[in-house]
């Protein structure tokens, strides 16, 4: 278990390398470090700004970086008594050292230090995947690590270098599909059929995404992150292409579920009744796929809505903006297009994967009892 956790961390190292490559663009007037809360000196409440505010006066010691060991006192303002921002003695936080143009410096508390907790959660996930999923779960974890590696070493660096985000994301998605499917499901005939179905549907999803984004007149400016990219050193990045690439990669996340499930269902049907011809296999497979896809479309839509829930709440309480204007905003339009493209991709995946699986498995199997490919 420990080796797998270490392997995952090593695969994540390219992200650190990318950050180092971007160092020349970092702000020379700020530094970040971890700091430990040594003492809560004082805690008061006030309403100076028209709402309840708790102010903690804390003493901290820097635990990393060039200022390690330095101690200082700061005020930690907590709005509306938010317990998640209340500090306790012994807790570790992230602090920022701001160097002002006049040469003076200020320390600010940015947020709580979460990396150790995240590491334990990742390890817990890996253990659960391996214990509950067995060998398949273990290889799925490896497939996840390879997917992260492809994102870190192939997709992100080439987009940063100014290459076409849609082309790079599509190629990266194809690489991820090839590696993750074979790692998770083994080198079987049904896996190959699922992969072919995935790649065909993925190509169609690129066309659908291009049509939908163009029809909705989206330019990729529907998020704060996109605006920051245009203000920073990555102004050469095509935001519309980045939006399209993100839609394609997001569709792949649920696409392989449909193709592998459909292919496996057809394979098992043909094994259970070898007399089933193409028409019967295809009809039964489509019936199964319709039941599966109904829940997946709902899951996909709820995933996008859940990720955008805080902003949707802000739009709801904004009484000065009419509902049609909110729906017309690029942010909402982008989420609608993401959901539509992803859902349509799933709809296309059912007949495509079912057709290919029924075609390949209608005349029996060229595989052994273990389901692996055998050469004749």
Selecting from 3.30.70, 2.40.50, 3.30.1460, 1.20.120, what CATH number does the domain 29-113 have?
Answer: 2.40.50
* C-alpha 231: how far from chain center: 24
State the pLDDT confidence band at 373, using cuts at 50, 70 and 90: very low
Q: What are the strands of the beta sheet with 92-99, ordered from one edge? A: 71-79, 53-62, 30-46, 92-99, 105-112
Q: Which residues contact 323 (CB under 8 A, 6 or more apart)?
A: none
pTM of the model: 0.73
Tell me what the mean pLDDT of segment 292-307 comes to: 73
b vs e for 150-179, b when ≥16 Cβ sit within 10 Å of the residue's Cβ? Answer: bbbbbbbbbbeeebbbbebbbbbbbbbbeb
Residue 5's pLDDT is 35
- Other residues' Cβ atoms within 10 Å of the Cβ of residue 93: 21
Residue 83's pLDDT is 57
Residue 56's pLDDT is 82
For 317-344, how does the pLDDT look when each residue is reduced to its tens digit (9 = 90+)? 777 777 777 778 787 888 888 888 888 8
Residue 4's pLDDT is 39
Contact 254, 342 (CB under 8 A): yes
Res. 64: pLDDT tops 80: yes
Quick one: CA torsion of 45, 46, 47, 52, rounded to 10 degrees?
-20
State the pLDDT confidence band at 210, using cuts at 50, 70 and 90: very high
Q: Which residues contact 306 (CB under 8 A, 6 or more apart)?
A: none
Q: For the chain, what is the mean pLDDT?
A: 79
Tell me what the mean pLDDT of segment 86-104 comes to: 84
State the pLDDT confidence band at 82, using cuts at 50, 70 and 90: low
DSSP 8-state code for residue 66: T
Taking domain 162-361, whether its CATH number is 1.10.3470 is answered by no
Give me the DSSP letters along 296-348. HHHHHHHHHHHHTHHHHHHHHH-TTS-HHHHHHSHHHHHHHHHHHHHHHHHHH
State the pLDDT confidence band at 193, using cuts at 50, 70 and 90: very high
DSSP 8-state code for residue 77: E
State the pLDDT confidence band at 371, using cuts at 50, 70 and 90: very low
In sign, the C-alpha dihedral spanning 163, 166, 170, 173 is positive
For 345-356, how does the pLDDT look when each residue is reduced to its tens digit (9 = 90+)? 888 999 999 999
Closest CA to 336 of 245, 212, 241: 212
Closest CA to 300 of 336, 351, 259, 349: 336
Q: Which residues contact 195 (CB under 8 A, 6 or more apart)?
A: 177, 178, 181, 182, 259
For 107-153, how does the pLDDT look when each residue is reduced to its tens digit (9 = 90+)? 888 888 999 999 999 999 989 988 988 888 888 888 888 888 999 99
Closest CA to 4 of 117, 125, 133, 149: 125
Q: Which residues contact 163 (CB under 8 A, 6 or more apart)?
A: none
Q: In the chain, which segments carry CATH 2.40.50?
A: 29-113
Give me the DSSP letters along 113-176. --HHHHHHHHHHHHHHHHHHHHHHHHHHHHHHHHHHHHIIIIIHHHHHTT--HHHHHHHHHHHH
- Dig out the tokens for 364 from the structure: 């029996």
- Dig out the tokens for 142 from the structure: 């490896």
How many helices (H) does the chain have, and how many strands (E)? 11, 5
294 vs 66, residue with greater confidence: 66
Beta bridge partners of 342: none
State the pLDDT confidence band at 79, using cuts at 50, 70 and 90: low
CA distance 34 to 13: 20
For 231-271, how does the pLDDT look when each residue is reduced to its tens digit (9 = 90+)? 666 666 788 888 888 888 888 877 888 899 899 999 998 88
Res. 370: pLDDT tops 60: no
Residue 333's pLDDT is 85
Contact 70, 134 (CB under 8 A): no
Q: In the chain, which segments carry CATH 1.20.1640?
A: 162-361
């Amino acid at each position: 278990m420990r080796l797998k956790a270490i392997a995952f961390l090593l695969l994540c190292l390219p992200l650190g390398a990318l950050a180092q490559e971007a160092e020349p663009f970092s702000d020379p007037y700020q530094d970040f470090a971890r700091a430990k809360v040594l003492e809560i000196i004082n805690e008061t409440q006030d309403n100076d700004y028209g709402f309840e505010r708790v102010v903690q006066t804390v003493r901290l010691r820097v635990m990393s970086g060039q200022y390690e060991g330095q101690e200082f006192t700061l005020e930690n303002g907590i709005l509306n008594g938010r317990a998640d921002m209340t500090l306790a003695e012994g807790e570790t936080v992230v602090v920022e050292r701001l160097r002002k143009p006049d040469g003076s410096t200020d320390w600010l508390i940015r947020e709580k230090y979460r990396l150790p907790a995240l590491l334990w959660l990742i390890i817990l996930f890996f253990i659960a995947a391996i214990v509950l999923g067995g060998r398949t779960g273990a290889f799925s974890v490896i497939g996840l690590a390879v997917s992260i590696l492809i994102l870190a070493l192939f997709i992100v660096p080439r987009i940063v270098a100014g290459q076409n985000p849609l082309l790079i994301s599509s190629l990266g998605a194809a690489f991820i599909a090839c590696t993750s499917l074979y790692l998770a499901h083994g080198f079987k005939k049904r896996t190959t059929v699922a992969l072919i179905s995935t790649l065909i549907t993925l190509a169609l999803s690129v066309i659908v995404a291009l049509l939908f984004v163009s029809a909705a007149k989206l330019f990729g400016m529907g998020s704060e992150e996109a605006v920051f990219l245009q203000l920073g050193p990555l102004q050469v990045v095509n935001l519309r292409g980045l939006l399209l690439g993100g839609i394609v990669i997001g569709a792949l996340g649920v696409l392989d579920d449909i193709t592998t499930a459909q292919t496996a269902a057809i394979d098992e049907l043909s094994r259970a009744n070898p007399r089933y011809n193409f028409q019967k296999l295809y009809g039964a497979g489509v019936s199964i796929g319709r039941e599966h896809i109904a829940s997946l479309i709902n899951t996909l839509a709820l995933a996008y809505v859940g990720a955008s829930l805080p902003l949707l709440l802000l739009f709801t309480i904004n009484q000065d903006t009419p509902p049609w204007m909110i729906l017309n905003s690029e942010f909402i339009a982008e989420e609608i297009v993401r959901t539509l493209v992803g859902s349509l991709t799933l709809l296309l995946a059912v007949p495509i994967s079912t057709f290919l699986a029924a075609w390949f498995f209608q005349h029996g199997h060229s595989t052994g009892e273990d389901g692996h490919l055998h050469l004749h």
